[in-house]
Chains A and B, each alone.
Chain A
Amino acid sequence: MVAVGGFLIGIILFAQVANPVHKIFDPLQVKNLVSIKQFFSAKIPEGVSAKVPDLIITTIEGEQLMLKELAGQNQLVVVNFWASWCSPCVEEMPHFEKIHRDYQNKNVTFLGIATKDLLPAVEKFIAQRNITYKIAMDDQDKIATAFGGVKVLPTTIFIDKQNNIVKVHKGYLSQRELDKNLKNLLH
Chain B
Amino acid sequence: MATTRPITRFTLFGGVVVLLLCLSVFPSSGQAPKDTNLVHVEAYASHESINATGSFQITVVANIKQGFHINSHKPLNEFLIPTVLRLNETRGIAFGSIYYPRPKQVLFSFSPKHLSVYDGKISIFAECKVSENISPKNIKVSGVFTYQACNDQMCFMPESICFEIPLKIVKAD
Contacts and interface: CB of A to CB of B under 8 A. Distances in A.
Nearest to B79: A84
Given A6-B17, A13-B19, A125-B79, A171 B153 contact: yes
User: Of residues A17, A90, A91, A152, which shows the largest number of chain B Cβ atoms within 10 Å of its Cβ?
Assistant: A152
Contacts of B1: none
A152 B154 contact: yes
Contacts of A6: 10-15, 17-18
Given A11-B22, A87-B150, A152-B32, A172 B110 contact: yes
B111 A87 contact: yes
A87 B155 contact: yes
Interface in B136-159: 148, 150, 153-158
B81 A2 contact: no
For chain B, the bracket of interface size reads 35 or more
B11 A87 contact: no
A42 B154 contact: no
Nearest to A46: B31
A121 interface: yes
A103 interface: no
Contact of A2 (B14, B23, B29): B14
A31 B34 CA distance: 32
B60 interface: no
- A interface majority secondary structure: helix
A89 interface: yes
A62 interface: no
Contacts of B110: 87-88, 91-92, 172
A175 to B, nearest CB: 12
A133 interface: no
User: Of residues A45, A86, A154, which shows the largest number of chain B Cβ atoms within 10 Å of its Cβ?
Assistant: A86
A7 B14 contact: yes
A7 B111 CA distance: 43
Nearest to A40: B29
Contacts of B16: 10, 13
Interface of B: 7, 10-19, 21-23, 26, 29-32, 34-35, 77, 79-81, 108-111, 115, 148, 150, 153-158
